[in-house]
Amino acid sequence: MIPTVSIDDWIADYGEMVLSLCLKVIRNRELALDTSQSVWEIVLRKKESFRNESRPGTWIYTIAYREALRAVKKEKTRRYKDALRGYHEASSQPRMEDNLAEDAQVYGWLSGTCNMCLSGIICTLNFKTRIIVVFRYILDISFEEISRILGMEQAAVRKAASRGKKRLMDFFENECGLYAKRAHCKCGLERYLDKSSFKNDLVAIKSITAKALHLHNAGSPLPPIEYWEKIRASCHK
């Protein structure tokens, strides 16, 4: 039986539920508001197909949940494309001058641009060296503090940082087209994205970086290596 209630009745009864669900899934108020509006447009378009085989609230909830997930996926795709766009901008590229391997611009570029991609860090470095490179060159944490976190001698941390830098430089020079003037991106981001292990490591290193940055900015001591290994392991389940 075709429902006799109006769309306004449904909005009055379930509008708050739809908006709350969108906010919970999307976690961006402006986008959630737009998505909730899209939900009601879909409900209005499909209203005649509702046959009372379930409660209206259940039917509307299903539509809202699917639309919220679609909005989240679309937003992630947009951010990813924006990141790639920024990655290609000439202003994001380091100037190719003098002894670039020692130039501070490399580190600025690494922390400002490559941390959106992290292909080199993931594809060329083992886990401990990734921690050292991210903590030192992206978060600007002291070698002394990194030494404590990893349970390594400070001299060993410095050596690992130096080796990591060299491997990254080799990656940039041999694989990353942005590192060469007027070149196009040949980096691992698009090339490696279909590999589940790369995706998991990408999520792990982003999670680790975000958590470490939060603790560091709050002035809290960073946990030992076992804590960061657990984060990585959880991303590979």
42 occurs within a structural domain: yes
Q: Is residue 193 part of a domain?
A: yes
194 in the same domain as 103: yes
Q: Looking at the structure, do residues 111 and 78 belong to the same domain, yes or no? A: no
Q: Say how far apart CA 149 and CA 220 lie, in whole Å.
A: 13
Q: In this model, does residue 115 exceed pLDDT 80?
A: no
Contact 32, 19 (CB under 8 A): yes
End position of a domain, from candidates 65, 88, 111: 88
Residue 7, pLDDT above cutoff 80: yes
Structural domain includes residue 189:
yes
Per the CB < 8 A criterion, the answer to whether 138 and 110 are in contact is yes
Q: What is the DSSP string of 214-232?
A: HHHHTTPPPP-HHHHHHHH
CA dihedral of 141, 203, 235, 166, whole degrees rounded to 10:
-50
Identify whether residues 104 and 11 lie together within a single domain.
no
Q: Provide the pLDDT confidence category of residue 139 given band limits of 50, 70 and 90.
A: confident
81 and 158 both lie in a single domain: no
CA distances from 219 to 24, 188, 223 (A): 30, 34, 12
Contacts by 207-213 with C-beta closer than 8 Å and gap 24+? Answer: 207/231, 207/235, 208/131, 208/134, 208/232, 209/115, 209/134, 209/138, 209/139, 212/134, 212/135, 212/139, 212/141, 213/139
Domain span at residue 29 reads 7-88
pLDDT tens digits, residue range 37-92?
A: 999 999 999 888 887 777 888 999 999 999 999 998 888 767 655 654 554 454 54
Q: Is the pLDDT of residue 1 over 90?
A: no
pLDDT at 103 over 70: no
Max mean pLDDT among 28-32, 62-66, 204-208, 210-214 falls in 62-66
Please tell me whether residues 33 and 143 are part of one structural domain.
no
Same domain, 119 and 220: yes
Same domain, 111 and 19: no
With a threshold of 0.85, does the pTM exceed it?
no
Query: Domain with 15 in it: what CATH number?
Result: 1.10.1740.10
| 66/82 Cα distance (integer angstroms) | 24
- 46: region left, alpha or beta (phi > 0 left; psi from -120 to 50 alpha): alpha
Q: What is the mean pLDDT of residues 128-148?
A: 88
Task: Judge if 116 and 208 occupy the same domain.
Answer: yes
Last residue of a domain, one of 39, 68, 88: 88
pLDDT at 3: 46
Same domain for 212 and 103:
yes
Number of domains composing the chain? 2
Position 93 in a domain: no
Domain end call among 32, 60, 88: 88
pLDDT for the residue numbered 98: 42
Q: Of 19-23, 113-117, 131-135, which range is least confident?
A: 113-117
